[in-house]
Structure 1
Amino acid sequence: MTRTSFPASSLRRRMWLQWSLASAGAFALTARASTSPLDGGPLRIVVPYPAGGSSDRAARLLAEALGPRLGVPVIVDNRVGAGGRLAAQQVHREGPGQNVVMLANPAVMLVAPLVFSEGGYDPDKDYVALSEITRYAFGVAVSSGVPVKEFAHLHAWMVANQDKLAAGVPATGSLPHFFALMLAEQLGLKLPVVGYRGSAPLLNDLMGGHVPLAIDTLETLEPLHKAGKLRILAISDDQRSPRLPAVPTFKEAGLPLSALAWNVLYAPAWLPVARVRQIAEATTQAMADKELQARFVTADMVPVVSTREQTVKMLAAYRAQWAPVVRRSGFRP
């Protein structure tokens, strides 16, 4: 993938330099606008999570950009339940006669099919990946009660405090949960994982000293880190975040750990091929628009420009990395 920069503030220019954009093939697509309105009427983007979250905000930004390109209204439809599985079950069962896609993350399209014997959908058979929309990294943070200011010193503290060691994550079975297991494996430690019902109670317990360590998205941890209420010691990206330039990556800290999560736009397998192609091309075109990218940046999200082929390749590599971790964990809800 090539990388590019955009005319914004100096900080944002540095941010853009780190973000993935598509190869020349993707940019060729952006030059072609849709020549006719999408058949079948309005398009719904189903989001498996409540309004106001990062997935919902990403979907609404995308919907605004897709409408003019597809020539039809684009509506965001929040379908909440069963950790995101409800939306995935319903969308693939709706059947022909309407236009619907889903913006989903690894918890719905990778983890759930591995740990639920009767998930109600098969991501490989029931869905077609269209385009990666956003990407995000994780951070490991400690409470102010943990006398560690650098990740290099965390291992020694963890060894000396095995009796009170635990890592809090925003949900059992989430990517932060499995990243905690990867971290423990690399460090050669037993690390109990405590699953919470969301980031808010997790961070309250972290700041209150009830759990010493937390793993969550950078978007979630960053404001409290900057306010001095917790300390992010390392991030899971391959490069440092421009917003947190003093925080090292895990690789810089000496651990060969790298992990990113994503929001990918999927179409149900029953959607006509011509519509799938038109929506995918319009999405790539929209995500390459500099104004839309700037709006994602303002919303603290990392936008990605990706063709269908690039997205499928990314998902295959992602599964190869994470599926063995999930299986080794023996996790069952």
Structure 2
Amino acid sequence: MRKHSRQRAVVTRETTVRNWISCAAFAALAAASAAPACAQQAPLDGALTIVVGYPPGGSSDRIARLVADRLKDRLGVTVVVENKTGAGGRIAAQGLHALAARQNVLMLANPAVMVVAPLVYAEPGYDARRDFQPVSLVSRYKFALAVAANSPIRDVAGLRQWLRDNPRQFSVGVPATGSLPHFFALMLGRQIGQEPEVVGYRGSAPLISELIGGVLPQAVDTLDTLLPQHRAGKIRILATSGDARDPLLADVPTFREAGVDLAADGWNAFFASSAMAPAKAARLGEDIAAVMREPAMQQAVRESYLEPVTADAAATGRELDAYRAQWEPAVKASGFTATQ
């Protein structure tokens, strides 16, 4: 068996999704955009900038641009998306507070930036609790466990049996060391009673390539990344991490249905600097939530294999607190630390 590719540095929103959204969804959004702007007075004086810590084309960038397109009509102001990539999204977070002192800026971020990085980096370059305020949660995504299509493992019960027969071969690939799938794999190992060897890759593409090729026996990644390969018959998803089965994958059980007491997800949410007036942040949260309620927007998000969410600033804050309560113990218990 070839040696696994490894990487030990980056906490990132590691996944990429299929680089398309259906023409029908875009057409529907374009039609919605042609509607008259909301008559409410905009909460902004000047343009709005949305900062994304990941490259163009990924799910975070796509959602940011979909929201930006609708906000410009709703608010009647220019809305610009800027990709400030690097350090797994931390570059964007580090610069947000300084930017907000002189302009209207929001950041679209995920738990890798807001929850995990402050725990595994000695100096992430920001204080996630002090420097930011929640604005609006816009999407959720699930995790999944997968094997190659030709693997003898057909389901989670089969995995348990395989591990009993091969007790020191629980090797699980993840798209990056220190990522959310990394810690989900550790939580999975605790639940099934066997600690995995977590193999970190330089992104989802090489991870999936080695899984398909049989180099890697198991992999954990986000469902939106794995689902296209599952549908193409190249890999087999054994279970997903939601509380209920995903409607796009109704024949695959959740981990709990498969006898593993484990449920978790990730999300994308807008944040503002703590320097922004709370009333302005709250109003922007209401506007983004209104945009996310539009049927065309929800369809566009689903086309990316994500779950659309409608949440204002207060609801987003509660979601963030609950997420920290679930994930911080697991991250701390792992003893994992990352380098810059």
Q: Tell me whether the two structures share a fold, i.e. TM-score over 0.5.
A: yes
**Partner of 1:201 in structure 2?**
206
CA RMSD, aligned part only?
1.5
Which sits farther off after the overlay, 308-317 or 190-199?
308-317
Q: CA deviation at 1:34?
A: 6.2
1:213 aligns with 2:213: no
Q: Which residue of structure 1 lines up, in the alignment, with residue 229 of structure 2?
A: 224
- The match for 2:299 is 294
Specify the code of the residue in structure 2 equivalent to 1:298: E
SS in 1 for 2:249: coil
8 A Cα contact 2:173 2:207, kept in partner: yes
Correspondence 1:1-333 to 2 at 5 A: 35-333=40-338
Cα contact 1:43–1:100 (8 A) shared by 2: yes
Give the secondary structure class of the aligned counterpart of 1:57.
helix
Return the alpha-carbon distance in structure 2 between the equivalents of residues 235 and 300 of structure 1: 13
2 CA distance for matches of 1:133 and 1:187?
32
Is the 8 Å Cα contact of residues 38 and 71 (structure 1) preserved in structure 2?
no
Structure 2: which amino acid aligns with 1:189?
Answer: Q
Identify if the C-alpha distance between structure 1 residues 320 and 253 changes in structure 2 by more than 3 Å, giving closer, same or farther.
Answer: same
Of the structure 1 ranges 284-293 and 105-114, higher mean CA displacement relative to structure 2 is found in 284-293
- Give the Cα separation in 2 of the matches to 1:287 and 1:95: 24
Would the aligned equivalents of 2:281 and 2:313 in 1 still touch at CA under 8 Å? no
Cα deviation code 1:107-135 (max 9, x no counterpart): 00000001111111111110000111100
Deviations 1:118-153 (Å, cap 9, x if unpaired)? 111111110000111100001100113431111121
* Match in the other structure for 1:24: none
Give secondary structure in 1 for the equivalent of 2:159. Answer: helix
Whichever residue aligns with residue 263 of structure 2, its letter is S
How many Å separate the matches in 1 of 2:196 and 2:146? 15
Q: CA deviation at 1:310?
A: 1.3
Letter in 1 for 2:163: M
How many Å separate the matches in 2 of 1:106 and 1:145? 33
Structure 1 portions without partners, runs of 5+: 1-32
**CA offsets per residue over residues 74-98 of structure 1, 9 Å max, x none?**
1111111111111100111224220
Between 296-305 and 250-259, the greater mean CA deviation after superposition: 296-305
Aligned residue type for 1:261: G
Give the C-alpha shift of residue 63 in structure 1: 0.6
| Matched residue SS, 1:305 | coil
* TM-score, reference length from structure 2: 0.86
Q: Give the C-alpha shift of residue 70 in structure 1.
A: 1.6
| Residue identity opposite 1:60 in structure 2 | R
Q: Deviations over 1:249-276 (max 9, x none)?
A: 0010011100010001000111123321
* Aligned residue in 1 for 2:15: none
Secondary structure of 2:252 counterpart: coil
**Structure-1-length-normalised TM-score:** 0.88
Paired residues, number: 302
Distance in 1, matches of 2:39 and 2:237, equals 44
Q: What secondary structure, in the 3-state scheme, does the structure 2 residue paired with 1:114 have? A: helix
8 Å contact kept, 2:223–2:305: no
Question: Alpha-carbon deviations, 1:190-209, whole Å to 9, x = none?
Answer: 20000111100000010111
Code of the residue aligned with 2:135 in structure 1: it is L
- After superposition, the Cα gap between the structure-2 partners of 1:192 and 1:238, relative to the gap in structure 1 and judged at 3 Å, is same
Residues 135 and 303, structure 1, Cα contact 8 Å, conserved in 2: yes
Unaligned ranges ≥5, structure 2: 1-37
For the residue of structure 2 that corresponds to 1:232, the secondary structure is strand
